[in-house]
A and B are shown apart, each in its own frame.
Chain A
Amino acid sequence: KNEVEQSPQNLTAQEGEFITINCSYSVGISALHWLQQHPGGGIVSLFMLSSGKKKHGRLIATINIQEKHSSLHITASHPRDSAVYICAVSNYGGATNKLIFGTGTLLAVQP
């Protein structure tokens, strides 16, 4: 079992729909990261959070430390949101701050 699990693995939505991607983790963390990778593109950091909720435009990320669970929400989805969304965790209390990644969620938003 991976230390970071994401669901769903694949998601197809219609333009305008509200989208939720979930992430659960089994290790102690200092921060949880949501990353985005467009087809053929690089990895971009969307959020880094250790508690509560963060919002950027149409993207909202929440984390529940007690339940070891985070969600990424996309409101009013658009075809340009089509990408792989990756959840990763880090623990910088140790010697390093390496990221432990989930397998990613492939999102396709259809017009």
Chain B
Amino acid sequence: EAGVTQFPSHSVIEKGQTVTLRCDPISGHDNLYWYRRVMGKEIKFLLHFVKESKQDESGMPNNRFLAERTGGTYSTLKVQPAELEDSGVYFCASSLGRGRAQYFGPGTRLLVL
């Protein structure tokens, strides 16, 4: 069974540009989470999907971030326009249900110059 995959693995963009990160959860996992680690800080929650619905987006930093999960399968996280402070590692995780273990993807390393 394939694990959680994320694309791209790395992205280097200039301030003001747009970047779209993709996450493919484990097949059958209805719950999908986005997290972010900014340099030197702990990993922080961004948002949670249950199927295609946003269950909790309390961690989204501002309206430059837009997450979607069309059809309840893969998810995208778009940052537009990117700012320097958006640099970090973006992790996606999925789980079979609430209260179940979360499985993490390898992360996307985003550098905004």
Contact = CB atoms under 8 A, between A and B. Distances in A.
Given A43-B104, A86-B43, A99 B35 contact: yes
Interface in A11-47: 30-31, 33, 35, 41-45
A99 B45 contact: yes
A2 B99 contact: no
Interface residues of B, number: 24
B65 interface: no
B104 to A, nearest CB: 4
A64 interface: no
B72 interface: no
A104 B42 contact: yes
Interface size class of A (residues with CB under 8 A): 20 to 34
B74 interface: no
A17 to B, nearest CB: 26
A11 to B, nearest CB: 17
A30 B45 contact: no
Interface stretch (A54-62, A71-79, A89-97): A89-97
Interface of A: 2, 4, 30-31, 33, 35, 41-45, 48, 86, 88, 92, 95-104
Interface of B: 31, 33, 35, 41-45, 48, 55-56, 59, 91, 93, 95, 98-99, 101-107
